[in-house]
Structure 1
Amino acid sequence: MMKAIKTQPHNQLIVVVSGPSGVGKDSVIRRMLQRDRNLMFAVTTNTRIMREGELEGKDYYFVSKREFEEMIKAGEFLEHALVYGDYKGVTKTSINRAIDSGRDVLLRVDVQGAATIKTIYKNAILFFLMSESNEQLLGRLEGRKSETSESMKERTATAVDEYTKKDIFDHIVVNRKNDLDSTVDIILEIINLERKRVL
């Protein structure tokens, strides 16, 4: 039997942070969670290799491709996609746990996933993160030291495509280099305005 997706109470927000690979989504989300205790992160599941500094169950749930495909067959995902040869997705369990917390739900998904979330949760607030320039984005990808020249080309091409779809988002925020708190200030200010609106 497939797991049901819970609906959130009218005064509970679903907040989505998306954007191209390397734009700084993880850094922004970590800082948001540090600064706003009323946010609960719905942890994404993926099949890629864990990067240095990442924690199982906090940043991601890491599973094999075979396990992920079994989870797809079992209907465990709210949304999922094959990205750069690896699966990633948000399970119904993860979002249900976040909704049950009573806090506003924070999701990190790709552009395709953001569109899916919006069809399920009509009032979801979608943020698209952009870098100041292509050079900045490339610099961040190179800084990971986990990308091949081939994967860099693929991620850059995908970023260009994702920029063309940014109009589906409610808010577009530039994540400026060495100014993480300003980016987070903008996002949290919008979230706080939305909280007042749904009270």
Structure 2
Amino acid sequence: MAHLFVISAPSGTGKTSLIHAILNDEMSEKTKLGISCTTRKIRDDEENGVSYFFLKEDEFSQKINDDEFLEFAEVFGNFYGTPKAWVLSTLSEGYNVILELDVQGAIQVKKAFPEATTIFIIPPSYADLENRLSKRNQDSQAEIKKRLSKAKEEIKSGEDFEYLVTNDNFDSAFADLASIVFSNKGISSERKNLASKCLDHLLDH
């Protein structure tokens, strides 16, 4: 039976890389990544209905009024939302759907769609997260500090998710995620205990 998975994580935790690995796995034939609606301008390398559904602001507002989103948010002046109809249609076709959302979006979806499985990916430590953010060479030190501060806020919601996955090692984190998405087995007690300890450590710092 098709299922909705909502995956969230602080910036720099490796969420996008793990999701891409899941989607490229041979087991992912019946799994699709959710497509969001957005009011931001389309880029040259994007195609409407593939990367995003691109809408005008008044169209987006109308969809909000008509309760057509599982969740929506404003990010840097642009609106993003998960279209309810697309998710339900894709699930009815027998495909699992993965939504890659921030913490608040994940919580909104869980309220609107209680059957969804929520997964939160955490780093083994803040030092590890800071190291990953620095290695990306995308952000200034000030921006990295801002992302770490936001991560501390997001991690406070970790206990609200059904599954915790620790990305201490990419292959191990991938195996955890694959076990949840492809076989509904959850994760091993050893990995579950590790995630719980890591979350406690993060919450204490």
Q: What TM-score, normalized to structure 1?
A: 0.73
User: After superposition, what is the alpha-carbon deviation per residue over 1:75-96, rounded to whole angstroms, capped at 9, x for unaligned?
Assistant: 4422012345554321224313
Amino acid at match of 1:103: Y
Displacement of 1:115 in angstroms is 1.2
Q: Does 1:44 align with 2:36?
A: yes
**Match for residue 91 of structure 1 among 59, 83, 100:** 83
Kept in 2, the 8 Å contact 1:15–1:107? The answer is yes
Question: Structure 1 residues 50, 184: CA separation in 2 closer, same or farther (over 3 Å shift)?
Answer: farther
User: After superposition, what is the alpha-carbon deviation per residue over 1:100-154, rounded to whole angstroms, capped at 9, x for unaligned?
Assistant: 4311121111111111111122221111001122233233334151x34444333
Q: Which runs of no fewer than 5 residues in structure 2 stay unpaired? A: 186-205
**Match for residue 23 of structure 1 among 9, 13, 23:** 13
Q: Does 1:77 align with 2:69?
A: yes
Q: Percent identity?
A: 30
**Match of 1:156?**
148
User: After superposition, what is the alpha-carbon deviation per residue over 1:41-68, rounded to whole angstroms, capped at 9, x for unaligned?
Assistant: 11234467899x9887555556677775
User: Matches of residues 117-132 of structure 1 in structure 2 within 5 Å?
Assistant: 117-132=109-124
**Match of 1:32?**
22
Question: Structure 1 residues 62, 156: CA separation in 2 closer, same or farther (over 3 Å shift)?
Answer: farther
Q: Which runs of no fewer than 5 residues in structure 1 stay unpaired? A: 1-10
**Match of 2:98?**
106
* Cα RMSD for the two superposed structures: 3.3
Q: What TM-score, normalized to structure 2?
A: 0.71
Measure the CA separation in 1 of the matches of 2:59 and 2:144.
Answer: 27
**Match of 1:6?**
none
Q: Does 1:189 align with 2:179?
A: yes
**Match for residue 163 of structure 2 among 162, 171, 182:** 171
| Higher gyration radius (CA) | 2
User: After superposition, what is the alpha-carbon deviation per residue over 1:14-55, rounded to whole angstroms, capped at 9, x for unaligned?
Assistant: 11111112212211111111112221211234467899x988
Question: Structure 1 residues 154, 130: CA separation in 2 closer, same or farther (over 3 Å shift)?
Answer: same
Kept in 2, the 8 Å contact 1:16–1:125? The answer is yes
Question: Structure 1 residues 154, 55: CA separation in 2 closer, same or farther (over 3 Å shift)?
Answer: farther
Displacement of 1:70 in angstroms is 6.1
When the two structures are aligned, how many residues end up with a matched partner?
183
**Could you say which structure has the higher helix fraction?**
2
Measure the CA separation in 1 of the matches of 2:179 and 2:80.
Answer: 29
Displacement of 1:186 in angstroms is 0.9
The structure, 1 or 2, with the larger RCO (C-alpha pairs under 8 Å, 6+ apart) is: 1
User: After superposition, what is the alpha-carbon deviation per residue over 1:161-196, rounded to whole angstroms, capped at 9, x for unaligned?
Assistant: 1111111111110113xx43321211121234438x
